């Protein structure tokens, strides 16, 4: 059995994403992205072929961004807190370029 990294959803991001994502294909891609983020082997080797997980530049906090799909533009924002993945937001495809603006509008979520 695969070693999993704990994933916390304190803001209901999974529920929100499943409501907001426009079609079943993107919903399935979202769940596959979460599975990759939970996979400890990806973290150990720092290889995330599906989500292309990377740190957001331009903010003091360690906020990370992962693709749901590269083409659609939908993204997941997350942070690592005490070795756990904490989901912070799901970003719509048309807003993914304004990453700093999106973070500033919901700065209460990010620690």
Query: ∠ CA(100), CA(101), CA(102), 5° rounding?
Result: 90
Q: What is the pLDDT of residue 2?
A: 67
Per-residue pLDDT for 106 more than 90?
A: no
Q: What is the pLDDT of residue 104?
A: 83
User: Distance between CA 2 and CA 111 in Å, rounded?
Assistant: 29
pTM of the model: 0.88
| pLDDT-above-90 percentage for the chain | 64
Q: What is the pLDDT of residue 103?
A: 83
pLDDT band (50, 70, 90) for residue 96: low
In order of their start, the domains of the chain are: 7-105 (3.30.2310.20)
Per-residue pLDDT for 51 more than 80?
A: yes
User: Distance between CA 109 and CA 99 in Å, rounded?
Assistant: 14
User: Distance between CA 70 and CA 32 in Å, rounded?
Assistant: 13
| pLDDT-above-70 percentage for the chain | 96
DSSP letters spanning 51-75: T--EEPTT-SS--EEEES-TTT--E
Q: What is the pLDDT of residue 37?
A: 94
């Amino acid at each position: 059995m695969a070693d999993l990294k704990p994933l916390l959803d304190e803001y209901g991001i999974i529920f929100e994403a499943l409501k907001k994502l426009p079609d079943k294909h993107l919903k399935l891609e979202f769940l596959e992205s979460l599975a990759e983020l939970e996979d400890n082997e990806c973290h150990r080797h720092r290889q995330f072929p599906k989500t292309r997980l990377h740190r957001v530049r331009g903010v003091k906090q360690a906020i990370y961004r992962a693709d749901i799909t590269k083409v659609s533009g939908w993204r997941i924002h997350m942070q690592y807190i005490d070795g756990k993945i904490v989901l912070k937001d799901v970003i719509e495809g048309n807003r993914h370029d304004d990453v700093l603006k999106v973070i500033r509008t919901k700065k209460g979520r990010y620690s």
